[in-house]
Structure 1
Amino acid sequence: MVGVLIVSHGELGKCLADCARHVLGRVPDNLAILGVEKHDNPELRLQEAEAMVHQLDDGSGVLVLSDMLGGTPSNIACRLIRRGQVEVVAGVNLPMLVRALSYSAQTLDVVVSKAITGGLEGVYYVIPEEK
């Protein structure tokens, strides 16, 4: 099963994981969260992330989801990339996470694709109905 690691600012990853657990009705055992705080040493957090990837990877690979591209969490996530084994997608949102967890029994490339489409398809401009 593909592991999923969220690397995010502060408590965002934990909050997303809690929401995903609520939506899915289960606690995914292939999910881990690393929250990065402003005062954290990025090198130490990278070492923690590497250990989490190692723990999550059962041979199927790991998808790392980060929040904002260019921020410290995504910079840490990008240093984890090992093509075909550890892939990174930035811009995590709840639909992306739910889709990644829902398809995590598939191959890593399928999980990456499903996560991206879930994230994109979960964004809508809502126009109120005219009365």
Structure 2
Amino acid sequence: MVGILLLTHAPLGQAFVAACAHVFRGPTERLEAIDVAADQDLAEVQALALQAIARLNDGSGVLVITDVKGGTPANCCNKLHDEGRVEVIAGISLPMLLRAITYRRDSLDVVVEMALAGAQSGAVRVDNRIRVGEN
């Protein structure tokens, strides 16, 4: 099963873990979050991420999801990417994460594609305005 590591600005990662526990009615296996503090050392974050990847990888690989490309958490991912073992996506959303969790018994490549599809289809305009003439 593909492991998932959330590497985000604090306290976003833990909030996503809690949201997943709510949706799936319990803790999600092989899902961890590292919340990066504003003044945290980049080398320390990378070391924590490598330790988490080692825990999460059962041989199926690990998907690392970060919040925003160019931010400190995403910049920590530069040395984590390992083709076939670790893949990185920036721009976390709850639809993305739920889709990744749902498909993580597939290959790492499939999980990445499904997560990206979840992000794209999960962002929609909701129009609840009542229009003239409608009841």
TM above 0.5, one fold?
yes
Counterparts of residues 1-131 of structure 1 (less than 5 Å) = 1-129=1-129, 130-131=131-132
Give % identity.
37
- What CA distance in whole angstroms lies between the structure 2 residues aligned with 1:8 and 1:77? 11
Shift of 1:27: 1.2
Q: How many residues align?
A: 131
SS of the equivalent of 2:7 reads strand
Per-residue CA deviations over 1:79-115 (Å, capped at 9, x if unaligned) read 2000111000000010111111111111101100110
Q: CA deviation at 1:127?
A: 2.3
Q: 1:95 and 1:20 mapped to 2: Cα distance?
A: 10
Any unmatched runs of 5+ in structure 1? Answer: none
Question: CA contact under 8 A between 1:7 and 1:34: conserved in structure 2?
Answer: yes
SS at match of 1:5: strand
On the 8 A contact 1:2/1:58 being kept in 2, the answer is yes
Answer whether contact 1:10 1:36 (CA < 8 A) is retained.
Answer: yes
Report the residue type matching 1:112 in the other structure: V
- CA offset at residue 78 of structure 1? 2.9
Q: For 2:58, what is the secondary structure of its paired residue?
A: coil
Report the aligned-residue RMSD.
1.0
Q: Which SS does the other structure have where 2:76 is aligned? A: helix
